Amino acid sequence: TKEKNLDFIALYFGEPDSAGHKFGPESPQRKNMIKQVDRTIGYLRQRIRESGLESTLSLIVTSDHGMETVIKTNEIHIQTVANFTFKDIQFELLDYGPNGLLVPKEGKLEHVYSVLKNAHPNLHVYKKADFPRRFRYANHSRITPLLLYSDPGYVIHGVRCVPLERGRGEHGFDNEAMAMKTIFRAVGPAFRRGLLVEPFESVHVYALLCELLGITPEPHDGKLLPLEIPGWGVAHAPATPGHDLLPAHPTLRAPQPRTQMICRSLGFNW
């Protein structure tokens, strides 16, 4: 309400992620869940209008990942690889989808790497130093000597007879895969009406939120997108209430002292 005068509100929905995992991204169950969440978004926007908050509140709808259909044929089973044994492994983190971490026992690194690197056509195995830099992942001290990831649709099965993930949908694959792409939609006084921009990485959303809230961000890997992406415009005037808006450069608009922001994490196209 206006009386509470909030600066930032974050809401999270576990759907349609749960339905996507259980039934698959193209299933009727997930599509019905998307309709249900869409109605919730519609109600939220209706209440924003009825509460007279359209001129002061900016709404962002985004999500943290996409969803891919799990391939059930020619699966990746690490424990069945020839000349591989978990007796050579000191620590493993497998059975959680398309990624894996391994710490071989002393003196076993080269052997484990050699038997796994060509074990399956859809499995990628790297030593830490060779892991693709574009993932920005392997340069941390906590990352293990061997890293595994699978192609879209394939999950990695390790030591468990019954894998933890038995659903028909999964995420966590290579973020360059189209099925892993997510969404970003925004509406409110901080955004220019009808602006469509090129795709950008979600790591940059934090800088945008800090700009809108008028706070100094902590150290991070993102950038204030409008300064980097051609086509981001400046919201010179408040947008027409009720219109769906896409990202715009808010830098030249002085942040309102008590900006209200709702950041919604969903997995569907709005």
- Would you call 69 helix, strand, or coil by DSSP? strand
Give the pLDDT score at 211.
87
Phi, psi angle pair for 68, to nearest 5°: -125, 145
Distance CA 249, CA 16 (A): 30
Distance CA 18, CA 38 (A): 16
Burial of 83 (0-12, 13-18, 19+ CB in 10 A): exposed
Q: Where in the chain is the domain with CATH 3.30.1360.180?
A: 76-170
For 76-170, CATH number out of 3.40.50.2300, 3.40.50.300, 3.30.1360.180, 3.40.50.150 equals 3.30.1360.180
Distance CA 9, CA 57 (A): 11
Chain position carrying tokens 């892991």: 131
**Could you tell me whether strands 156-157 and 169-170 are parallel, antiparallel, or unpaired per DSSP bridges?**
unpaired
Give the pLDDT score at 270.
31
pLDDT tens for the chain, residues 1 to 270: 456 678 899 999 999 999 999 999 999 999 999 999 999 999 999 999 999 999 999 999 999 999 999 999 999 999 999 999 999 999 999 988 899 999 999 999 999 999 999 999 999 999 999 999 999 899 889 999 999 999 999 999 997 655 545 689 999 999 999 999 998 999 998 888 888 888 888 889 999 899 889 999 999 988 876 544 444 443 433 333 333 333 333 332 323 333 333 333 333 233
Give the pLDDT score at 131.
97
Give the pLDDT score at 193.
83
8-64+182-265 has which fold? Answer: Alkaline Phosphatase, subunit A (3.40.720)
- Would you call 83 helix, strand, or coil by DSSP? coil
Tokens representing 100 are 């894996």
Tokens representing 41 are 């978004």
In whole angstroms, what separates CA 243 from the centre of its chain? Answer: 26
Give the pLDDT score at 191.
85
Give the pLDDT score at 244.
39
Q: Where in the chain is the domain with CATH 3.40.720.10?
A: 8-64+182-265
